[in-house]
Homo-oligomer: A and B are copies of this chain.
Amino acid sequence: MLDRSTIIGFISGFTLILSAIVLQGDLMVFASMSAFLIVVGGVLAATLVNYSYENIKYSFLTISRMMGAKSVDLRTDMELMRMFAKKVRTEGILTIDDEIKDLNNDFLQNGLQLAVDGYNRKSLGNILDDEIQSHERQLSISVKVLDSMSEYSPAFGMIGTLIGMILMLQNINDPESLGAGLAVALITTLYGTILSNMVLGPLAGKLEYLSKLDLNRKEMFRVGILSMVEEENPRIMENKMLIYLEPKQRAEYKKYHEKLPYGTNREEKLFQEWTKYQNKEWETLNENLEVETG
């Protein structure tokens, strides 16, 4: 499933454009298979020359995968990491061996597994770093692919319009048809502009934005995993990880934990049911655990 703002954006954007047309005239005037083919096909052809089929496919897979990802709440991630860190501190790292397989973030799962396997801080740090960097390289290529496509779009719109205009001007016997011919010629420019500004440009921007969030989350996990391996105080780990949260979320998280009454059964409860809460909103997790506390 796409992320909500993207869907709302696409629906409202195209509704606006379509209703602007319908209110003033006939929608069918704007439906042109040849305009569609020259713009979309031309963009794909130029991108094939520029990159490769695999790159294009991978870009769209990445963006659909990223936008379809279950909503991510870094505060929930914080709770789980804190819980694991406390377990590791008191009962040793092998305690979480069974839990790891239930994690549904590959990076975190892989990192914790390596920690359990006994890698030392330095080599584990290098491995996680390389992982993040090679992920970053991949994502930046995908963003570039979408950016190039967005830049080729208006050019192919213009190519279609130029072809249409040249043909129309050539057969100018009937001046009456001149207007209609120009109208048809302009449709490819319209398609190219819409494809670039309503679809490909915003999608490239979204992928870049989501990439940053994802890399930020991976960095947060990396800091947390390394802190566990060094058996640092969970409180220190928490402070190191909190930097990666937005100021507002960080404040909420800190305030909540400061006000938490001492000696609740929150932690134990969370450890038994944590799989239910991963990728859920932090509020959901709190509500459920709260009830028991009360």
Contacts and interface: CB of A to CB of B under 8 A. Distances in A.
Given A8-B53, A17-B38, A187 B202 contact: no
Contact of A172 (B9, B42, B180): B180
Contacts of A194: 159
A167 B29 contact: yes
A53 B169 CA distance: 39
A230 interface: no
Contacts of A17: 38, 42, 159, 163
Interface in A238-259: 243, 245-247, 250
Contact of A170 (B29, B138, B168, B170): B29
Nearest to A199: B49
Contact of A183 (B169, B183, B199): B169
Contact of A134 (B9, B13, B141, B243): B243
Contacts of A41: 12-13, 16
Given A10-B49, A50-B201, A163-B190, 19 more contacts: A5-B52, A9-B46, A12-B44, A12-B48, A20-B37, A25-B171, A42-B197, A45-B198, A49-B199, A138-B246, A155-B197, A158-B193, A162-B193, A166-B183, A166-B187, A167-B183, A170-B183, A172-B176, A172-B178
A143 to B, nearest CB: 12
A165 B205 CA distance: 30
Main secondary structure of the interface of A (DSSP, over half): helix
Interface in A141-189: 141, 148, 152, 155-156, 158-160, 162-172, 176, 178-180, 182-183, 186-187, 189
Contacts of A42: 13, 16-17, 197-198
The 9 lowest CB-CB distance pairs between A and B, nearest first, are A13-B45, A9-B48, A172-B179, A49-B202, A9-B49, A50-B205, A169-B183, A155-B197, A50-B202
B164 A189 contact: no
A97 interface: no
A242 B97 CA distance: 26
Interface in A20-65: 20-21, 23-26, 29-30, 34, 37-38, 41-42, 44-53, 55
